[in-house]
A and B are shown apart, each in its own frame.
Chain A
Amino acid sequence: MSSIAAGTGQFLTLRHRRNRSNLQSSPSSASITTSTITCHQIKSQNPNKPTKNPHPKSSFFPFSVKNLAVSAAAGVIFHAALKNPSFLGSGGGSGGSGGGGYGGGGGGGGGGGGGWWKWVLSPEANADENQSEWDSHGLPADIVVQLNKLSGFKKYKVSDLVFLDKVKSIIVGSDDSFFEMVSLRAGGVYTKAQLQKELETLATCGMFEKVDLDAKTNADGTIGLTVSFTESTWEEADHFKCINVGLMQQSKAVDIEENMTEKEKMDYMRAQEREYRRRMERARPCMLPRSVHGEILQILSQGNVSARMLQNIRDRVQKWYHDEGYACAQVVNFGNLNTNEVVCEVVEGDITRVVIQFQDKLGNVCEGNTQIGVVKRELPKQLQKGNVFNIEAGKQALRNINSLSLFSNIEVNPRPDEKNEGGIIVEIKLKELEQKSAEVSTEWSIVPGRGGRPTLASIQPGGTVSFEHRNIKGLNRSLLGSVTTSNFLNPQDDLAFKLEYVHPYLDGISNPRNRTLRTSVFNSRKLSPVFTGGPGVDEVPPIWVDRAGVKTNITENFTRQSKFTYGIVMEEITTRDESSHISANGQRVLPSGGISADGPPTTLSGTGIDRMVFAQANITRDNTKFVNGAIVGERNVFQLDQGLGIGSKFPFFNRHQLTMTKFIQLKEVEEGAGKSPPPVLVLHGHYGGCVGDLPSYDAFTLGGPYSVRGYNMGEIGAARNILEVAAEIRIPVRNTHVYAFAEHGNDLGSSKDVKGNPTEVYRRMGQGSSYGVGAKLGLVRAEYAVDHNSGTGALFFRFGERF
């Protein structure tokens, strides 16, 4: 007899656009858009009609959700706002394709004529686009006209719309839930056919026992519409049950034929009832928590079950699902009405398939270079087949895939599975980035020549040449290289180069263990903080430390932040003075003004050039997270360089560092966008030590923005063992924070254990404290720090974080 049909046609798009020109993870815009979700109208019969429903004990109330728009927008950090389902249909978030919803989706068998369903268009689509053109009704004013008496050729302007509850004889306000059933709006222009269609929709939606539409003519040619209705009601119920009917075969109803005998009809009804019971047994339990269950029982206790009450229940149930992110969950039917138990049938949106698709630049489906496994391993398991689709899992997948940096555009769409009732196919559409890229950036430095005029010879072409070959073999392997010099004509002066090969998924693409092999050839040039003067020492001639070598390591990622890296480094270290001459000893400025080159040795070999091979390991444990933008948690880093006795003077050493930083949240705060962050206390300790051969370039230095603030790099000393402790308190102010800190660095008396004792030679204290206050201004830290050794303070501007 009655019909059950579920058609959930929905279109949910999670979209991410990557800025092609920025290869690093620079700000790229991302948006998640859920466009209109439409559910198809389901044919239903009025359950109270005695002729069609001779058995009052089992009746069905199929539901239709007309128009549901969910939209969300997301920034880089995905502050996705999921708007509550709005029935007004004007959905669509930023960058989204909101508006008219449509969907495919399986219908089901229905009673009566075998069930039918139709598209329901959004109200905007229903109203005539051209609002200004409408026809006068051409009738005397203030008469009530029945709908079928209106002219089929005229466009009527509806000046007002009134709902009249015939049972209670009251006019229903526009805030009533019935209003959302009607797509007509006051002020709209409609033809008779449209009005008739609307009436038909209302009559068949199952909410009303009887619906009439009358028009009242107005003097100005417009008409006022009155929708008078009688609400459907059923017997009181005191039990509620929610079942998951997703992926279940919809019951195929056999029509009651006119020529059935009474007995046949009874048998048929019983069969129906049995079948429904069996269906309920087969159905899986749904996720609805007890608390919501309780709320619904409260709604039920209000009296007779009415259409409005069911609508309330549906709204409550759907709200819970949508709040939890189950954006595809739909209440499709209410069953077992007129018994003491209301059965709510929900399609939760089970994922039946995950499809990964590649698109070319024009958006056509094409064969991708990337291996599917690379993408698949980034999908959270909640997005695998057999789980209920959750928009948060979708977003997580989007973020994970985005972090591969392989795609310019990523879309995660759930779409209804035509072959599987209530199923969802998760479609992941990817646009690949160009595999190879090369870049040349040049700059010309024009140096004044003789007479202050630039000559041709003094124009130096400098710049960077870089190339990148990404996603080799579709396995996200990449080869990067870059060369930078300030003079291409004479590149031996200062040539910085880097060549790196990255090989992820070392244990195989299907292995969950995530290890990446990296090999690089590099060089670097740094000013040595070991050869720095203490307070009052004007100028110490600088020593440059050039390193060039090969490095290979394996990184195992445990979480996004915690990782373990181990590898081997082979490098040549050359120490040079200001004029790029190799220098084996640090220099000192003599009181007479001369320079003597009898300072501490710069290298282990004593020649100014060291070659060595050593093993390196680093383990980082980081469980920090953001609480309203403030970082909270703990970060521990242990780093080890183990000399292997290979190289100049057979260096054998064990150089180790342990850093522990704790961010303690001082107050519980409510989490959410726009809420203020908690005050945070930061405790930091850093120990560095070395046993064995220690060249001065590997000595630990104290002082500097990342060591003891308020001092210059290396101003406190250079030692074999060091200890740094720091405390900082951060107080949120508006959307940033101010902080106060105190820090101390100590060489533990080990400065003398560095060959040549550079700490003493350059008259440094070997220990020092500082304290100060500061404020975070965007990316910049502005801080006033007092250096305790000299007792003077200074204002500093620094980029980035200290901890």
Chain B
Amino acid sequence: MDREWSGIQQFPLATQTKLLELLGTLKEKEKNSVTILVMGKGGVGKSSTVNSILGERAVAVNAFQSDIPRPVMVSRERSGITLNIIDTPGIIEGGFINDQALELIKRFLLNKTIDVLLYVDRLDSYRVDNLDQQIIKAITRSFGKEIWRKGIVVLTHAQLTPPDFLSYDELFARRSEALINVVDSEARLIRRENPGHALPAVLVENSSRCTINDGREKILPNGIAWIPNVVETITKVATNESQSILVDPNSIDGPNANERGEWLIPFILGVQFLFVTQVKKWIKDDIAKAPKSSWE
């Protein structure tokens, strides 16, 4: 049903080979479909990243906020593997989370399984601000903290010249570290729990002026061809030991606290009945112990 991933042919040969190899890996792991959720602040290049990975203009890139922020899913099939990429609008509005937009995304994702979450941010914004925290918090709240086991931090606008005192790798390390720390604290994912697991970070440069190497692959200032790298990371995360996240109604509204423990009510009532009986006894004691006047 899904459209053939024709965009793959746009890529240079080296990239194509690598991608097909990765698809083969997925096939080996009997993963026929990979769903990727892309989230992040507005204007960091989420849609562009999606387009870059697919190698076609699959989603409309809008430099300015679209009228109705709606999530969009693009599905491409290649050699028996279906790639579903869900691009979401920025959920930040005027400095706060737009609950309505978030709600829309959640409804859109209902009954879908998320294999990979791409958390997109810019490499060239040096500070982790309150907005990052809020989005990470909102994501955690919406899908549960387990989603971060399927998470990848994507840093866009990777083609930049770092400040003099920092090397490019150092900058990347620091920037990704800062974001991962926020995720760790907000999602309360303690690394101790899972020492082998750390949120992977990848770099992306969507600009058409991106440097290319001899094989016409888009490369980053540190020389890595980023598209295969991203897809590789996606493959790794999609096939890691953590369960994919199924978005069910429970996880949308959070666990329904109104239903939790309802079956316990008869027992609670029983205990409360005993307690009331005990209080009655105390009252009787009080009456017996009440100091009496001499005439009584």
State which of A326, A380, A559, A596 has its C-beta within 8 Å of the C-beta of B283: A559
The reply to whether the CB of A382 lies closer than 8 angstroms to some CB of chain B is: yes
Chain A, interface residues (CB within 8 Å), range: 35 or more
The reply to whether the CB of A617 lies closer than 8 angstroms to some CB of chain B is: yes
Give the residues in chain A near B208, CB-CB below 8 Å: none
Contact A559 B254 (CB under 8 A): no
Q: Tell me, rounded to whole Å, the shortest Cβ–Cβ distance linking B21 to chain A.
A: 44
Contact A325 B276 (CB under 8 A): no
Determine which residue in B93, B279, B280, B283 has the highest number of CB atoms from chain A within 10 A of its CB, and name it. Answer: B283
Contact B286 A382 (CB under 8 A): no
Give the residues in chain A near B280, CB-CB below 8 Å: 558, 564, 619
Q: Binding site of B, secondary structure by majority: helix, strand, loop or mixed?
A: helix
State which of A382, A559, A619 has its C-beta within 8 Å of the C-beta of B296: A382
Determine which residue in B100, B257, B264, B296 has the highest number of CB atoms from chain A within 10 A of its CB, and name it. Answer: B257
Contact A617 B276 (CB under 8 A): yes
Q: Tell me, rounded to whole Å, the shortest Cβ–Cβ distance linking A219 to chain B.
A: 58
Contact B296 A694 (CB under 8 A): no
A590 and B100 CA atoms in complex are apart in Å by: 12
Interface code A602-633, partner B: CB below 8 Å = 1, 0 otherwise? Answer: 00100000000000010101010000000000
Q: Tell me, rounded to whole Å, the shortest Cβ–Cβ distance linking B180 to chain A.
A: 24
- Of residues 317 through 335 on chain A, the ones whose CB sits less than 8 Å from some CB of chain B are 324-326
The reply to whether the CB of A591 lies closer than 8 angstroms to some CB of chain B is: yes
Contact B279 A692 (CB under 8 A): no
Contact A393 B262 (CB under 8 A): no
Give the residues in chain A near B126, CB-CB below 8 Å: none
A753 and B261 CA atoms in complex are apart in Å by: 12
Give the residues in chain B near A324, CB-CB below 8 Å: 294-295
Contact status of A653 and B265, CB under 8 A, knowing A753-B257, A755-B258: yes
Give the residues in chain A near B259, CB-CB below 8 Å: 692
Give the residues in chain B near A382, CB-CB below 8 Å: 295-296
Contact status of A596 and B257, CB under 8 A, knowing A324-B294, A691-B262: no
The reply to whether the CB of B290 lies closer than 8 angstroms to some CB of chain A is: yes
The reply to whether the CB of A291 lies closer than 8 angstroms to some CB of chain B is: no
A596 and B93 CA atoms in complex are apart in Å by: 13
Contact B283 A558 (CB under 8 A): yes
The reply to whether the CB of A562 lies closer than 8 angstroms to some CB of chain B is: yes
Interface code B63-88, partner A: CB below 8 Å = 1, 0 otherwise? Answer: 00000000000000000000000000
Contact B295 A591 (CB under 8 A): no
The reply to whether the CB of B222 lies closer than 8 angstroms to some CB of chain A is: no
Segment from B106-114, B146-154, B267-275 that makes contact with A: B267-275
Contact B254 A752 (CB under 8 A): yes
Give the residues in chain B near A596, CB-CB below 8 Å: 100
Contact status of A693 and B283, CB under 8 A, knowing A392-B293, A638-B276: no
The reply to whether the CB of A754 lies closer than 8 angstroms to some CB of chain B is: yes
Q: Tell me, rounded to whole Å, the shortest Cβ–Cβ distance linking B268 to chain A.
A: 5
Give the residues in chain A near B103, CB-CB below 8 Å: 598
Contact B295 A392 (CB under 8 A): yes
Q: Tell me, rounded to whole Å, the shortest Cβ–Cβ distance linking B153 to chain A.
A: 25
Interface code B242-264, partner A: CB below 8 Å = 1, 0 otherwise? Answer: 00000000000110011111101
A761 and B94 CA atoms in complex are apart in Å by: 16
The reply to whether the CB of A636 lies closer than 8 angstroms to some CB of chain B is: yes
The reply to whether the CB of B95 lies closer than 8 angstroms to some CB of chain A is: yes
A326 and B295 CA atoms in complex are apart in Å by: 9
A592 and B294 CA atoms in complex are apart in Å by: 74
The reply to whether the CB of A656 lies closer than 8 angstroms to some CB of chain B is: yes
State which of B94, B268, B279 has its C-beta within 8 Å of the C-beta of A654: B268
State which of A380, A390, A562, A694 has its C-beta within 8 Å of the C-beta of B257: A694
Contact B99 A598 (CB under 8 A): yes
A691 and B268 CA atoms in complex are apart in Å by: 9
- Of residues 34 through 55 on chain A, the ones whose CB sits less than 8 Å from some CB of chain B are none
Contact A559 B279 (CB under 8 A): no
Contact B96 A591 (CB under 8 A): yes
Give the residues in chain B near A753, CB-CB below 8 Å: 257, 260
Give the residues in chain A near B95, CB-CB below 8 Å: 591
The reply to whether the CB of B60 lies closer than 8 angstroms to some CB of chain A is: no
Give the residues in chain B near A592, CB-CB below 8 Å: 94
Contact A654 B269 (CB under 8 A): yes
State which of B94, B254, B287, B295 has its C-beta within 8 Å of the C-beta of A325: B295
Q: Tell me, rounded to whole Å, the shortest Cβ–Cβ distance linking A268 to chain B.
A: 43
Give the residues in chain A near B282, CB-CB below 8 Å: 621, 636
A642 and B268 CA atoms in complex are apart in Å by: 11
- Of residues 182 through 216 on chain B, the ones whose CB sits less than 8 Å from some CB of chain A are none
State which of A590, A638, A642 has its C-beta within 8 Å of the C-beta of B269: A642
Chain B residue at minimal CB-CB distance from A556: B280
Give the residues in chain A near B99, CB-CB below 8 Å: 598, 761
The reply to whether the CB of A720 lies closer than 8 angstroms to some CB of chain B is: yes
Contact status of A656 and B272, CB under 8 A, knowing A325-B295, A693-B258, A752-B254: yes
Q: Tell me, rounded to whole Å, the shortest Cβ–Cβ distance linking B248 to chain A.
A: 17
The reply to whether the CB of A501 lies closer than 8 angstroms to some CB of chain B is: no
The reply to whether the CB of A72 lies closer than 8 angstroms to some CB of chain B is: no
Contact status of A691 and B283, CB under 8 A, knowing A382-B295, A390-B295, A591-B94: no
Give the residues in chain B near A784, CB-CB below 8 Å: none
Give the residues in chain A near B295, CB-CB below 8 Å: 324-326, 382, 390, 392-393
The reply to whether the CB of A652 lies closer than 8 angstroms to some CB of chain B is: yes
The reply to whether the CB of A307 lies closer than 8 angstroms to some CB of chain B is: no
Contact status of A640 and B257, CB under 8 A, knowing A558-B283, A558-B287, A591-B96: no
Give the residues in chain B near A640, CB-CB below 8 Å: 272
Give the residues in chain B near A652, CB-CB below 8 Å: 262, 265
Interface code A376-395, partner B: CB below 8 Å = 1, 0 otherwise? Answer: 00001010000000101100
Chain B residue at minimal CB-CB distance from A649: B258
Contact status of A692 and B262, CB under 8 A, knowing A564-B276, A596-B100, A636-B279: yes
Which 5 pairs from chain A and chain B are nearest by CB?
A: A753-B257, A390-B295, A591-B94, A623-B286, A693-B258
Q: A591-B93, A755-B258 are in contact. List 19 more A-B contacts (CB 8 A).
A: A324-B295, A325-B295, A392-B293, A393-B295, A393-B296, A559-B287, A598-B100, A621-B282, A623-B286, A623-B290, A636-B282, A638-B272, A638-B275, A654-B268, A691-B260, A692-B259, A694-B257, A755-B253, A761-B99
Chain A positions within 8 Å of B, measured between CB atoms, are 324-326, 380, 382, 390, 392-393, 558-559, 562, 564, 590-592, 596, 598, 604, 617, 619, 621, 623, 636, 638, 640, 642, 652-654, 656, 691-694, 720, 750, 752-755, 761
Chain B positions within 8 Å of A, measured between CB atoms, are 93-96, 99-100, 103, 253-254, 257-262, 264-265, 268-269, 272, 275-276, 279-280, 282-284, 286-287, 290, 293-296
